[in-house]
Structure 1
């Protein structure tokens, strides 16, 4: 099995090392192609207005000066000889739950794999409130549960242009309750705040805040599962058409 590993936190991110370790349990043909720097929140951005440079760090290990989408593109087209069997993206430092998947570079890297017809899985580690203080291993749950989560997904029947989004709860491994298939949830309120400041020249700048967003986890959602201590496994598909609205629009256009 040939595996392409990528992320949005950058080639030197600790979560990438976790995913490399997990991938090596399934294959000795693992390739790394990840952004050179952190690209969190880039979504499915593709670099079009500047050249993207590829750097080799070692055997089967590369970085790109671009987005997660760029990394997967170059990984598939320029780095890996032949075609990978699976694209693994992560392990992201922080949650990618609910409608946050639309912002996520981690999920978007998996989307790019799915668009290319490759099995694609995004993995994220939800963080405990004290993780920024260096208390314990923030990736403990994903280290311990990652193999159990990935094994059934590597040969599960999935329709084309479908990917899987995995989120590990912020718990010690022994406190994780298990793995639960879920649907995508939605947050209740608009995302975060905007912090305004001034640079040394007196010009204004704006910084988007990332404070927690209140939400009410719907039953069966990824938000509910992680809040209850489960690993959430959510199948996502790339057809964004809202079919229930098509007839109403056809009626308005006389169709």
Structure 2
């Protein structure tokens, strides 16, 4: 199986590098990496139109790939339509540093990169480790490897996987879920820079989820969450009015 590996945290992010190391151990996988050259979190599905997209070949401990001065969706478009690599059978975006749950997927560069694969006809997976504290990505990467060996992706579509930031033996299990509604108690702190210019710094906390069928609830309960997604945003109920 040919796999395109990408992310939004950058080519040298620990999550991507760990996943590459684990997948590269399996001789049945041919893994290519095309990822942003630096941090591109929360860029959503934006693409680069009004400036050139520079590409640099990279290598680290045997890991060859391409670092792109662009956004996650740029990386997938360039890899597939720019023919940087042979056409893959699967796109994997991640492992992301932090969760991509509920309606936050609309902002996520990780999920958008995977969705770009789907739009270009390639089954895709977005993978996130739901922690920010320097967590170990090894168990999450091993889960992805096991999941790939147990599943068939011929039917296409996107799977959004979120993994608790705990050792694998502490996970409660795996749940297939729907997207929740990520509700934040946002705070916009008003500050002044040293020159007296006004700016705002956004922060906030995620409100607890109460719907047991959602990805948000599954992560709260320390389950791995797997959410099937597609690109059709049509409101079919209103079409029937």
Could you tell me the TM-score, scaled by structure 1's length? 0.86
Cα distance per residue 1:195-219 (max 9 Å; x no partner): 322223221222322x321032312
Deviation of 1:47 (Å): 1.1
Structure 2 residue corresponding to 1:150, chosen from 145, 148, 151 = 148
Q: How many angstroms apart in 2 are the aligned matches of 1:81 and 1:190?
A: 40
Aligned residue in 2 for 1:61: 65
Any residues of structure 2 matched to 1:110-125 within 5 Å, and which? 110-125=114-129
Any residues of structure 2 matched to 1:202-213 within 5 Å, and which? 202-209=196-203, 211-213=204-206
Q: Are residues 1:182 and 2:177 paired?
A: yes
Aligned residue in 2 for 1:165: 160
Q: How many angstroms apart in 2 are the aligned matches of 1:180 and 1:21?
A: 26
Aligned residue in 1 for 2:234: 241
Q: How many angstroms apart in 1 are the aligned matches of 2:89 and 2:25?
A: 15
Deviation of 1:119 (Å): 1.0
Does 14-23 or 117-126 show the bigger shift?
A: 14-23
Q: Aligned pair count? A: 237
Any residues of structure 2 matched to 1:80-95 within 5 Å, and which? 80-95=84-99
Q: Measured at CA, do residues 139 and 146 of structure 1 come closer, stay the same or move farther in structure 2, by a change above 3 Å?
A: same
Aligned residue in 1 for 2:79: 75
Q: Give SS of 1:212's match.
A: strand
Deviation of 1:10 (Å): 0.6
Structure 2 gap ranges (5+): none
Deviation of 1:192 (Å): 2.6
For the 8 Å contact 1:149–1:179, the answer to whether it is kept is no
Deviation of 1:116 (Å): 0.4
For the 8 Å contact 1:144–1:173, the answer to whether it is kept is no
Aligned residue in 1 for 2:17: 17
Structure 1 gap ranges (5+): 249-255
Cα distance per residue 1:131-160 (max 9 Å; x no partner): 53x5xx44254134222233334x14535x
Q: Measured at CA, do residues 70 and 191 of structure 1 come closer, stay the same or move farther in structure 2, by a change above 3 Å?
A: farther
Q: Are residues 1:104 and 2:108 paired?
A: yes
Aligned residue in 2 for 1:29: 30
Q: How many angstroms apart in 2 are the aligned matches of 1:50 and 1:178?
A: 45
Q: How many angstroms apart in 2 are the aligned matches of 1:85 and 1:20?
A: 16
Q: Measured at CA, do residues 174 and 3 of structure 1 come closer, stay the same or move farther in structure 2, by a change above 3 Å?
A: same
Q: Measured at CA, do residues 83 and 144 of structure 1 come closer, stay the same or move farther in structure 2, by a change above 3 Å?
A: closer
Aligned residue in 2 for 1:194: 188
Could you tell me the TM-score, scaled by structure 2's length? 0.90
